[in-house]
Amino acid sequence: MTTRKIDSHVHVFNVERVSYGWPTPADKDLYRVIEPPELQPLLDEAGIGGTVLVQAADHSAETDYLLEIAEAHESVLGVVGWVPLAEPLEAGRRLEKLARRRYFKGVRHLIHGEADPDWLVRADVLEGLRTLASFGLPFDVVAVYPNHLRHIPRVAESVPNLRLALDHLAKPPISGGPSTDAGSMAGWEAELAAAAAYPNVYAKLSGLNTACDWNRWTPEDWKPSVDAAFRSFGADRLLFGSDWPVANLAGDYRRVWEATLSALESRSPEDKSSVLGGTAERFYRLD
């Protein structure tokens, strides 16, 4: 049976309704209303059957907005929203309501915006993650190497029934990219493998274009990172995500999609099917 193709990492923005820390008015290409109808022709061209919307603001108003968008557009299969994980009791109260919503499929917090690089492993946050796991919902980790990836084994061990997805492969330090000075590729790969040793940890092949030189990247620049991801996770724990429209900062949807297909070219049909849709179906328990 052919698995439908799913883009597991899409954003929408409505600056007229929602307050964002980023983008800001200086980011003119993104600081506007960007909603599913703008993406739909690109999904149709790529043969993608559905998307997962991912939060971009740490407050409930945006999550409510994302759920409204999901209910209004057939292309949206699920929403990764936000709850106050550092306040476990309040997070539990919010999750009791959100878990009843058909399209609510997980939680994310902009940990890369926290001043404390160890925010993810604070006692209150780990308790919030245990609360999240009790609802059977996963957590998207905006891990940026090297500050966050090293914490994933501790989280996975502390909350073993919580599914975790590493967004954007934790931004590997690809040569020429904005994270080049953050650490070595060998160090990133070692930490990625340590995280992947826990079966509840998954990773997204997403955001790699913005980890490269924004103006000069080619699909070949992705190859070491993608190969490392396959060695660590295998296809059954990897998900494709475009990171649209943020991806437009370093290309566009078509270019990211074609680069992803190029990166998967040597893989088996079964592996391609998993990465391009099957893993997302299982990870987010999509209808």
CATH 3.20.20.140 is right for the domain spanning 6-284: yes
Percent of the chain with pLDDT over 90: 91
Collapsed DSSP state (helix, strand, coil) of residue 25: coil
pLDDT tens by residue, 95-131 = 999 999 999 999 999 999 999 999 999 999 999 999 9
pLDDT of residue 1 exceeding 50, the answer is no
pLDDT tens by residue, 30-46 = 999 999 999 999 999 99
Residue 108's H or E segment, with its range, is: strand 104-109
What mean pLDDT is predicted for residues 204-227? Answer: 93
Q: Among 50-64, 195-209, 214-228, which stretch is predicted with the lowest mean pLDDT?
A: 214-228
Report pLDDT for 287.
84
> In the chain, where are the structural domains located?
6-284
State the pTM of this model.
0.96
Burial of 216 (C-beta count, 10 Å sphere; 0-12/13-18/19+): exposed
- Tokens linked to 30: 């993104």
Confidence of residue 181 (pLDDT cuts 50, 70, 90): low
Alpha helices in 246-286 (DSSP H): 253-263, 269-273, 279-284
User: Rounded to an integer, what distance in angstroms lies between the CA atom of residue 81 and that of residue 15?
Assistant: 17
Report pLDDT for 180.
58
pLDDT of residue 237 exceeding 50, the answer is yes
Residues 104/236/159/211 CA torsion (nearest 10 deg) = -80
Report pLDDT for 225.
95
